[in-house]
Structure 1
Amino acid sequence: MAARREYRDPETRHDLGPMNVACAHCGALHWIDERVAASSKHAPEFGICCNHGKVQLEGLHQPPEPLHRLLVGNDAQAQEFRSHITQYNSALAFTSLGVSDDKNINKHGPNAWVFRILGNLRHLSSALTAPDGVSPSYAQLYMYDPSVALQQRMNRNSNLRRDTMQALQTMLTLFHPYAAIYKQAYEILEDVGDVEEAEVRLRVMPGQDHRRYNLPTAEEVAVILPGDGSAGDGRDIILRNRQVNGAPMQRISDIHPAYAPLYYVLLFPHGEHGWHPDIYLDEPEKAHPQRLS
């Protein structure tokens, strides 16, 4: 007599419904089941987005042209751009993405492409001048004549549209503040001359508004010479004209406010600073508000 299989309830599809319930404080969309237990379906409250209005971040600016048109347009150029937006962003970024990803996860079946990270995600910064015989890349391209920079980007991304790449390159040169800051750092290091291991240190400081960090001014983009006794800060971005022999690319701290806009240039075309550890919760009833971190 054959053994009887153990009975199991048939699998059912779990449906959370539409994700269309807005937070009353910040407008973020949620599923209704994400509301805090103490609230009702008629007056839902959510804590995972803005902690009931205590987290108040500065809003993003309207994307400048031509980026706005490429994001919302329906013509062939806009559709091509959105199909390759990640590649365009990487070609125009100031920093490189350092990551080990799982190559095996996308080998089976026609499922949607998955980007699975193994270990830590990190952003890396190289010297402002490429070594002899090596083509410039990332921030180095912002030091070059625009026509030379465009050709280098197209050499590496021949499947992309040249007119789109040129328009986005011009836009970032005009609107992204770090294009000018990196160029200024490059000129400072050029003026120093042949002093080896001279560096420029970018340290942005919180302003009166705890949601914002101030960009460095000409006085704050300081050149550091070897042996001057300056103490390093892990949250600084250190820029050098040439890579020190044997030195790896510099890893930018993920708590630096420029960590996101230096890589995700098409998401932050105005160079809007991201998260930093000095953001405070908006708690006017407390004499000493807590840091968001």
Structure 2
Amino acid sequence: MRNPSWESCCKQGSVQLQLLPDPPEYLKDLLERTDTQDRHFKDNLRQCNAAFAFTSLGCDIVSPEDRANNNNNNNNNKRGGLNAFQIHSALCHRQGSLTPVEGNEPSYVQLYIFDPSYAAERRQARNSNLDPEIVRELSVMLAQCNQFARIYRYAHEILSNHESSNTVSNGNDQREVSVPYIIISPSMRMRLIEGSDRRTHNPPTMEEIAAVIPIEYSDRGFRDIVLTLRSNNSLR
């Protein structure tokens, strides 16, 4: 078409979308090549994404086998097509502390704190079927090019250098307890606004609710990520 018009998505050309920037050279080469290594990367792309993820995915994943069994048990739900990523229940991303719990191997974001060669070894140990060269080169690439990897390394340095401590006294026993971060929970209340649609704005009848609460005292267009240096629990 010489003069295309996209009314439904771009308001007849008034919305200008910028082209995506080129990926790093090594990743671009993997995506454009057609050799054996390239096919291996594309065939295992989802596993590579998981191996280099910063957080773990919290959800109940429906396996292809379960979907096939459900389809066989329900004649009205038989369908072909591409394999889809299907989950049940809630979806969240779990993030632990920046340093692993004593006795545990580093994983997810913790691997970005270490040297890329060590991080590649740990990722390879958990994903033995992946090409070691691809894992090694991607580890170096992300450590150099990914802005979040640099931010996490800097956060780890700051928390390590400025880790505060409190003294806990128990009789004659005094010990130092690290307190790398303090989270203050704001108070919240719910009220019914007169004039609102009572079907959608009624107060809840259950004793427990789950809600996304915006930061009312800030006009920022983003949300905070809470980082801790050491912790036994993961954040969601």
Normalising by structure 2, we get a TM-score of: 0.66
C-alpha distance in 2 between matches for 1:117 and 1:53: 37
The answer to whether residue 61 in structure 2 is matched with residue 101 in structure 1 is: yes
Shift of 1:145: 2.0
Deviation string 1:110-156 (CA, Å, 9 cap, x unpaired) is 95433212133322221111101111111100111222211100010
Counterpart code for 2:235: Q
C-alpha distance in 1 between matches for 2:7 and 2:143: 40
Does the Cα contact within 8 Å between 1:97 and 1:121 map onto a contact in 2? Answer: yes
Out of 98, 118, 127, the residue aligned to residue 88 of structure 2 is 118
The answer to whether residue 198 in structure 2 is matched with residue 198 in structure 1 is: no
Shift of 1:174: 1.0
Shift of 1:183: 0.2
Instruction: State how 1:175-194 maps to structure 2 within 5 Å.
Output: 175-193=145-163
Q: Paired residue for 1:278?
A: none
Normalising by structure 1, we get a TM-score of: 0.54
Instruction: State how 1:1-293 maps to structure 2 within 5 Å.
Output: 24=4, 45-47=6-8, 49-53=9-13, 55-103=15-63, 104-107=66-69, 112-193=82-163, 195=165, 196-199=178-181, 225=182, 233=215, 235-243=223-231, 245=232, 247=233, 249-251=234-236
C-alpha distance in 2 between matches for 1:65 and 1:191: 35
Does the Cα contact within 8 Å between 1:150 and 1:165 map onto a contact in 2? Answer: yes
Does the Cα contact within 8 Å between 1:106 and 1:114 map onto a contact in 2? Answer: no
Counterpart code for 2:228: R
Instruction: Count matched residues.
Output: 180
More helix by share: 2
Shift of 1:59: 3.3
Shift of 1:101: 2.2
C-alpha distance in 1 between matches for 2:15 and 2:34: 36
Shift of 1:197: 3.8
Q: Which has the higher contact order (CA 8 A, sep 6+)?
A: 2
Counterpart code for 1:180: R
Secondary structure, in 3 states, of the residue corresponding to 1:62?
A: coil
Stretches of structure 2 that go unaligned for 5 or more consecutive residues are: 73-78, 166-177, 187-213, 216-221
Deviation string 1:22-53 (CA, Å, 9 cap, x unpaired) is 994xxxxxxxxxxxxxxxxxxx6441x34544
Does the Cα contact within 8 Å between 2:116 and 2:143 map onto a contact in 1? Answer: no
Query: Once the two structures are aligned, what percentage of the paired residues are identical?
Result: 36
Secondary structure, in 3 states, of the residue corresponding to 2:58?
A: strand
